[in-house]
Amino acid sequence: TIASSRTKDYEYHKFLQTLFNKVTRISSDVGIVYQGKRQQTLPEKKCLQDESAMREGEKLLYAYTLPGVFSHRRPNQSARALINLMELSDESSILNLECGSGIVSFVAANRCPGAQIHAIDSNARAVKCTEQGIEKNQLTNVSVKLAAIDEGIMPESYDYLLTNKSYFNSEEQGEAFLQMCLRALKPGGLLQFSTKQYQWYAHRLLDLFTDVAIDGAVHHFMLSARKPE
């Protein structure tokens, strides 16, 4: 606010117009009052999405994450354990449960260009991130779907089942997970997943599957087991 005793003053008006988007001029018999109002600058919208890259052979594979997407910002040790140790074959059908950012699916697609990778996640943000990764990496053999872990899975349709999110609060949940894997895999199909809770899984896999194997990794274990023929 600026006051001038000159009733015919316009210099302040012009000057304030160079500084403010809106200037109000209030005149009276004793002078003029100018009021300049600065327009509030809206804060820039913060982008919470993060892009990471993982080298796979001679190719860089990109993945996108948002808060709440497993795992945010970079592949965690569980995903890396699965990626480093998983065994796949081309011309196969691969199911990636709780795909998160989709990086496991992208690596599988790059290693087996003739395979069809079906990614599923119950988190809409994860599905969106995986869709972006599919487009960025120009992968034509990966599809992603929003579905609960026990929905949208065709019975006995997959040669491989991959997941790195096999953490449960109870043995009942772990049992439900293994039973779902049995339903999804073809006879002879291979389940591969990474977990910290390997002791219970190892014993239960011996009851339900064949060719059970455990590979140790830093803080995580890679388990594989084959559905009986």
The answer, yes or no, to whether the previous bond of 71 is cis (omega within 30 of 0) is: yes
pLDDT digit string, tens, across residues 169-188 = 788 888 999 999 999 999 99
pLDDT digit string, tens, across residues 97-135 = 999 999 999 999 999 999 999 999 999 999 999 999 999
pLDDT digit string, tens, across residues 215-224 = 876 677 889 9
pLDDT at residue number 229: 93
Contact 107, 131 (CB under 8 A): no
**Res. 73: pLDDT tops 70:** no
Average pLDDT over residues 195-201: 84
Contacts of 106 (CB under 8 A, 6+ apart): 56, 61, 63, 133, 134, 137, 139, 142
**Residue 167's pLDDT band (boundaries 50, 70, 90)?**
low
In the chain, what is the straight-line distance between the N-terminal and C-terminal CA atoms, in Å?
86
Residue type, 65: T
69 closest CA partner among 119, 130, 126: 126
Domain 50-226 belongs in CATH node 3.40.50.1100: no
Q: Give CA separation, 76 vs 26, 54, 118, 165, 182, in Å.
A: 64, 12, 21, 11, 26
Count of beta carbons in the 10 Å neighbourhood of residue 52: 17
More confident of the two residues 13 and 195 = 195
On the 0-12 / 13-18 / 19+ scale of CB atoms within 10 A, 68 is: exposed
121 vs 63: CA distance, rounded Å: 15
Q: Where in the chain is the domain with CATH 3.40.50.150?
A: 50-226
Helices (H), the chain: 11-17, 77-85, 103-111, 124-137, 171-184, 198-208
Average pLDDT over residues 197-202: 85
